[in-house]
Homo-oligomer: A and B are copies of this chain.
Amino acid sequence: MKLFRKLISLDEALKAVLAYAKPAETEELVFGDALNRVLAEDVYSPADSPPFDRAAMDGYAIRAEDSFGASPNNPVLLRLTKSQREKGKESKVEGVEIGDGECFSIQTGMALPKGSNAVVMLEYTKERGSELEIFKPVTPGKNVSFKGEDVKKGEVVLTEGKRLRAHDVGMLASLFKRSVKVYKRAKFGIMSTGNELLNPEEAEPYEGEKRIADVNSYVLAGLTEPIASSYKIGIVRDNYDKIKTAISGSLAVDSDSNYYCDGLLISGGSSVGKRDFIASVVEDSGELVFHGVAIRPGEPTGFGIVNNKPVFILPGYPVAAISAFELLVRPFLFAVHGVKEERKRIFAVARKKIPSAVGRTDFVRVKLLCKENEYFVEPIRVSGSGILSSMTKSDGFVVIEENKEGVGAGEKVEVVVWG
């Protein structure tokens, strides 16, 4: 068994982990159910959008030429088409053709009648019976949304790897694209280990005893859910056989079981202490790819493969588990689920020195401050991965690469802000 004292760098760990990131399977979903899912195909437009030249404003479709010279004092006089004179303004546009000096009352979004090439806005007109005064000239094309102006037939409108936002789903709707191929959400089991842990949903309310709650089940599920699906396995005691059974049970090849997972995030017991069976179990059940990464917090992080499935060994302390999740698990989940977009980062000026040792990557919780169109950042507190309040008080985090000896006051850094 490799001890975590032989640390590998974050870059090496990331490379090793990503080498095992097999793309998730895909599934076909009705577009209305695909919000926030990641596209597994490029989406081509089956047609021009808009599908015809249409009015971009409420008003009257006319031949632009007929309006030339119009002014408030010298309005041009047009007459409604025969169809609208006889059947009223609700009459259909189909079959209508605008002749010399004619106009057609039109609503935003309606197809332009044949012969017309512009829309004069309602505001610049006045109806007098079946005649219309126009107070302002329009140029050809004015207030018209042309066929294919938004999207051309055959054009790629959304690309593989895009997470679908509300307006992307709207685009699919507008193209009558009933279903799309997206990446399936893999199911990751979340397992906490430790003899000391209590289930905080079952334990009685706190009364001053010396108790330690299972925090990681909630934190890791919460971090996983926006990307993959999570399954809470719960607390497993520090016992080689119990942990081995729990791992092999949830990573069984038979996918009928409820407990069946595509991968595992196991926390606790990942350092070198005597009770730390997880790395040994992983090694004995499959392959331990590495154990120990030069990140802080999160050093005792490991990764292995059991039944051809990924197993992340994460630290027991929640802050260290979150650090390892952000630095290693999230990139892995992004790769598996085809997420191409990086999370948006904010650039901010360090108000104080952020210390960091060369040779390890630091995950620093920070507070953001905004002053006159500029962000400033300061580290919350460098000590102790047991300090969960360093997370709850933070706005996000800064990663200080292993070849950097901290960040000086006044230097600009990238901040990942909590979503």
Contacts and interface: CB of A to CB of B under 8 A. Distances in A.
Interface of A: 5, 30-32, 35, 46-47, 49-52, 54, 56, 58, 89-90, 105, 107-111, 122-123, 145, 149-151, 157-158, 165-178, 194, 196, 198, 200-201, 203-206, 208-223, 225, 271-275, 316-318, 322, 344, 346-347, 368, 373-375, 384-389, 391-392, 395, 412, 414, 417-419
A64 to B, nearest CB: 17
Given A32-B201, A157-B392, A218-B166, A107 B273 contact: yes
A30 B218 CA distance: 12
A58 B108 contact: no
Contacts of A223: 166
B108 A222 contact: no
Tell me how many chains of this kind the complex includes.
2
Contact of A391 (B170, B173, B417, B419): B170
A213 B176 contact: yes
B174 A318 contact: yes
Contacts of A150: 384, 386-389
Give the 8 A-B residue pairs with the shortest CB-CB distance, closest first. A166-B222, A167-B391, A170-B219, A58-B273, A176-B206, A173-B200, A170-B215, A145-B386
A210 B109 contact: no
A171 B317 contact: no
A51 B225 contact: no
A273 B57 CA distance: 9
Contacts of A221: 166
B178 A200 contact: yes
A198 B173 CA distance: 10
Contacts of A31: 200-201, 218
A273 B108 contact: yes
A150 B392 CA distance: 11
Contacts of A388: 49, 150-151, 167, 170-171, 174
Nearest to A108: B271
Contacts of A108: 271, 273, 316-317
A74 B389 CA distance: 40
A50 B212 CA distance: 8
Nearest to A58: B273
A109 B165 contact: no
8 contacts: A30-B201, A51-B209, A90-B275, A107-B275, A145-B387, A150-B387, A170-B391, A373-B412
A119 to B, nearest CB: 12
Contact of A178 (B32, B205, B344): B205
Contacts of A419: 165, 419
A32 B218 contact: yes
B56 A384 contact: yes
A225 B164 CA distance: 14
A400 to B, nearest CB: 14
B200 A389 contact: no
B212 A200 contact: no
Contact of A109 (B149, B176, B316): B316
A117 B315 CA distance: 24
Contact of A215 (B174, B206, B210): B174
Given A31-B218, A58-B272, 20 more contacts: A31-B200, A90-B275, A105-B274, A107-B271, A108-B316, A109-B316, A109-B386, A122-B272, A157-B389, A166-B218, A166-B222, A169-B219, A170-B222, A171-B392, A172-B200, A173-B200, A173-B214, A176-B211, A373-B412, A419-B419
